[in-house]
Structure 1
């Protein structure tokens, strides 16, 4: 059953178990005859076609297998067929993930049939043998543990037990009765104590168990432990030591240790239709979660490992009630943010956006392996997954410590991957860090932001949104001070050739202000930063627009930047706004005393004709009232004048919109 040539020192009686009668077709049919399961739970590996129905889905991560989709009624629904990247499991029948009307004819209430009582002796053999069959798999991982981390050895060790895992999954597929026997053996503490804890028998088997226990204890001791901030060391899921009390808990440990082997991941996920088991699995996964960054950093194949981590985590965190329970009982949000922040804090470098001698801001080094190979992706994906649940997002928004930690992480992305303008030879190919930076900002910053904003829909959420804006402003002020722009709000000559495309703090401020005005009835005059701060906030996004415009013909990555531009453009609009003129009719707004270019009274306006941009231009500029702002790079906003028009080497024209 184990294709391993190195097991000569292990008693052969431990290697093979008899296939008792229930594996035969008659026995299998007898067990299935009493199956009354309501959930599908079919598990698939990567690159398998599955379906997602947004009409029926409660969680955005819901997915169903092809058979359940075909047997269900999804006529006129908003659905799509997709090729699974990380693998998945069918949610048909699970009311916590999808609506009952989307269930197929075989699951949910459609399969709640009254069946005959189960004979007392039907599962007796299975109940006696299953704990030892599971123990055999556990002993295999103990016995092959390598002192030095080696992805190749781990992969080979997991491969040895492919057939054995397939056999266990066949048992699970017999239905609810056999699944219950398996999950009971996995989650009961008494079973674990009886099987693997001393005293051991004084024979060859006892010596083998004693030896395997020493190897297990050594593996636990050498496994990387987290280094959380002192104020969070008391959290159970951030503890330095791991204590396992069930077979399932030790299985999860070896799953992490052996880099999430596909056969073990599928085996553990196959039993998710058992709700009690699902909660135990989720709790155990969260208790080990803070070790994911170390596993990803040490892996030889972080891309495959990332997919397998998400294959498991997405099934566990898509259930809103279970995710909320983990947040409340095991501080899941704290664990996720701390894990992500610690992974990134190891690759910080001094920011070079402004004079390094006067700059004490540190940003992520996008040339590092963690960024280029997207090692952060599972953590960012899981965080975004749990924030898709409104109850979890509200917990996040109400906790000042969580928000503060999150903005500490966002500050690491603020101004990262500084681009230097090449004035000599042509640059044929962008460095790989260019794409890595855009991917990171999108996945680890923008996606969580939009998940949070999607829950802020009415005036009752205004205080929470306002709190986020306050954090944004405070961290933006700290950032401006760190890069020496708060005191010296201009670009020096040597800084004109350096620019970053990444300003997540600006993005958050703009997006939350926009959402507050649009859906929560907030007034701009109540939530805008001070008039002194606004012009400084618009300068860096403006440089992004100017440089992106000059790069667009040659850079395919600009398409990535385009989708991130909207909020930053909004910051620019707010930055040039004169609050006393907000809401006034366009033709009644007086021309500013300074920075008007030419003495005119027109400005950029919304469709309703109210002023949202403070710069003035003459009506004769365009018969279509197309308004432009002339901005000289390196100058204060108030330094704009008609004299800049002729200095084309430094001036750029920014199209803002129609009146």
Structure 2
């Protein structure tokens, strides 16, 4: 039902109502007439795709100007210091290694051409997973490469925003976001992805409107961030009213569907000592609109429009940290999603499109590793993913390896996680956290053991092999992407005598894993090797070789002190020799 005040305002027409509302918002922080009007316009029982509703909101926020005029005025006060332009797959972008602090830095064509990169080591590339422009971000690239529009000093000389300009936006924005959340909640069941994606499609004009507002620059993004990350606002607006009404009934039913959806997205089973970590707990608890919006993005398998909306806001520093925390809280559930997805390739690209923007920032990555135990979350997720596809390595032993014929291996479902881990380990403070944590190293080497001796090649003596299995490619690429990429990322940080203790600790865990493996395959003397079977995959040997080499060449350890006892060394050498 329309309230009398909302009917009176609507009769004034969009511009007339907007002028009145602007005046009310300039006088008070509790504009009752605006609230009455919005309860009519944003009634959750009306279809969200009504274009007339979106048009009304645009006029109201414009406060008496046309929406186009309002957008133009707000952009004049854009004092943002970073570009943040978001692109999807197949976009042509640039990477400058001379200016990059992070190997993942990228620039849009306009920022690259307006910056000074003459004589630099750069390349132009077609984006595979999507990305965002890092121009102006001092944590990702050097200031010398910024264009004149971005950087820490870009806001100097910009006019100061008059407070009344965004007064209506501040009142309306939380309710726009609430309406989107109500729509996603009420369309989350049945649990069929096509239906859920249709619900995002139905909200297209609403999401496009939010895209447009975030594109108006730093001032409007700050208004949006304030609504998205405020816990009190979230608690107040999602509370079910005590008075029985149609709205209260709707909210109750939407809450029921939301709670059912939460249960339908389980995380991996972590070791007991990690169960208290926020990102590894059994149940998800959301405290802000942003956290819930990230949940729906994950639950609906990263719809492109929602992903781009979340990424468009990254130039706001308060938002960037809040979004990274929200993403990390849902990270463990993404691994389960990748395994069950019907299109893991597209999903992988969309996950990395988000994660690469967040984990390329050293300060933020370190904070997430320290405060939310991100490294533990990643290793638990990887181990959980692989533990579901283990098979006996061979007869007469009790060692289990990943089955390379399974879809997880064939379709590289693990790729986003190992890509993110390598990105994190490229930051020295994060790598040192990894290397100095005993339980984390132990868990990592138990993960590597699942690849040790996988995809055994059996020599056929009696019958002709008609078809070669294609599992060799899945095995080769898995070892290259999972054990090896992390190994090289860690080795870079162990180049001086100050980190000798970390190399020794890693080698200790590597040897322990190798001894456990030798025992599991019942390998007690060098003569035991089977002449008719071989595996090319011995990541534990490669770790031992790489870090022993690093210890001797770069850290001043004597070879005799780095090598294991001769009896153990003889056993360890037999498998690499067997491959030869």
Q: Shared fold (TM-score greater than 0.5)?
A: yes
| Contact 2:48 2:206 survives alignment (8 Å) | no
CA distance in 2, matches of 1:447, 1:192: 41
The equivalent of 1:244 in structure 2 is 286
Rg: which structure is higher?
Answer: 1
Q: Answer 1 or 2: higher relative contact order, Cα 8 Å, separation at least 6.
A: 2
Correspondences of 1:359-378 after superposition (within 5 Å): 359-378=397-416
1:171 equivalenced with 2:213 (yes/no): yes
CA distance in 1, matches of 2:211, 2:310: 9
| Contact 1:414 1:503 survives alignment (8 Å) | yes
CA distance in 2, matches of 1:284, 1:332: 12
CA distance in 1, matches of 2:281, 2:158: 47
Cα gap change, 1:298/1:273 in structure 2, threshold over 3 Å: closer, same or farther? same
CA distance in 2, matches of 1:26, 1:317: 38
Q: Deviation per CA, 1:26-47, whole angstroms, max 9, x where unpaired?
A: 1111101111110001111111
1:527 equivalenced with 2:570 (yes/no): no
| Contact 1:226 1:239 survives alignment (8 Å) | no
How far the C-alpha of 1:58 sits from its partner, in A, is: 1.0
Q: 1:115 aligns with which of 151, 155, 158?
A: 158
Cα gap change, 1:410/1:514 in structure 2, threshold over 3 Å: closer, same or farther? same
CA distance in 1, matches of 2:183, 2:461: 61
1:75 equivalenced with 2:113 (yes/no): no
How far the C-alpha of 1:426 sits from its partner, in A, is: 6.0
More divergent stretch after superposition (134-143 vs 441-450): 134-143
How far the C-alpha of 1:200 sits from its partner, in A, is: 5.3
1:102 equivalenced with 2:145 (yes/no): yes
How far the C-alpha of 1:424 sits from its partner, in A, is: 6.1
**Helix, strand or coil at the partner of 2:401:** strand
How far the C-alpha of 1:491 sits from its partner, in A, is: 4.1
1:454 equivalenced with 2:454 (yes/no): no
**Helix, strand or coil at the partner of 1:314:** helix
CA distance in 2, matches of 1:144, 1:32: 35
1:143 equivalenced with 2:186 (yes/no): yes
| Contact 1:351 1:360 survives alignment (8 Å) | yes
Instruction: Judging by fraction of residues, say which structure has more helix.
Output: 2
Correspondences of 1:517-556 after superposition (within 5 Å): 517-545=552-580
CA distance in 2, matches of 1:482, 1:259: 39
Q: Deviation per CA, 1:428-466, whole angstroms, max 9, x where unpaired?
A: 764232111111111111001100001112111111111
**Helix, strand or coil at the partner of 1:363:** strand
CA distance in 2, matches of 1:151, 1:521: 56
How far the C-alpha of 1:12 sits from its partner, in A, is: 4.8
Q: Deviation per CA, 1:382-411, whole angstroms, max 9, x where unpaired?
A: 111110100000011111111111001001
How far the C-alpha of 1:209 sits from its partner, in A, is: 1.9
Q: 2:526 aligns with which of 489, 492, 504?
A: 489
The equivalent of 1:134 in structure 2 is 177
Correspondences of 1:225-264 after superposition (within 5 Å): 225-264=267-306
Q: Deviation per CA, 1:408-432, whole angstroms, max 9, x where unpaired?
A: 1001110001112245666576423
Cα gap change, 1:478/1:9 in structure 2, threshold over 3 Å: closer, same or farther? closer
The equivalent of 1:64 in structure 2 is 107
Correspondences of 1:2-21 after superposition (within 5 Å): 10-12=45-47, 15=50, 16-17=53-54, 18=56, 19-20=58-59
Which ranges in structure 2 are unaligned for 5 or more consecutive residues? 1-41
The equivalent of 1:54 in structure 2 is 97
RMSD value over aligned CA atoms?
1.9
**Helix, strand or coil at the partner of 2:165:** coil
CA distance in 2, matches of 1:81, 1:14: 39
The equivalent of 2:16 in structure 1 is none
Q: 1:333 aligns with which of 375, 379, 388?
A: 375
CA distance in 2, matches of 1:47, 1:200: 51
1:393 equivalenced with 2:431 (yes/no): yes
TM-score, length basis structure 1: 0.78
The equivalent of 1:480 in structure 2 is 518
How far the C-alpha of 1:201 sits from its partner, in A, is: 5.3
1:152 equivalenced with 2:194 (yes/no): yes
Q: Deviation per CA, 1:37-68, whole angstroms, max 9, x where unpaired?
A: 10001111111111111111111111111111
| Contact 2:525 2:571 survives alignment (8 Å) | no
More divergent stretch after superposition (440-449 vs 536-545): 536-545
Q: 1:93 aligns with which of 136, 139, 160?
A: 136
Cα gap change, 1:409/1:205 in structure 2, threshold over 3 Å: closer, same or farther? same
Which ranges in structure 1 are unaligned for 5 or more consecutive residues? 1-6, 546-659
The equivalent of 1:511 in structure 2 is 546
CA distance in 2, matches of 1:151, 1:423: 49
Q: 1:286 aligns with which of 305, 328, 344?
A: 328
The equivalent of 1:125 in structure 2 is 168
How far the C-alpha of 1:303 sits from its partner, in A, is: 1.0
CA distance in 2, matches of 1:537, 1:144: 57
The equivalent of 2:421 in structure 1 is 383
Q: Deviation per CA, 1:342-375, whole angstroms, max 9, x where unpaired?
A: 11111111112xxx12x11111111111111111
**Helix, strand or coil at the partner of 2:413:** coil
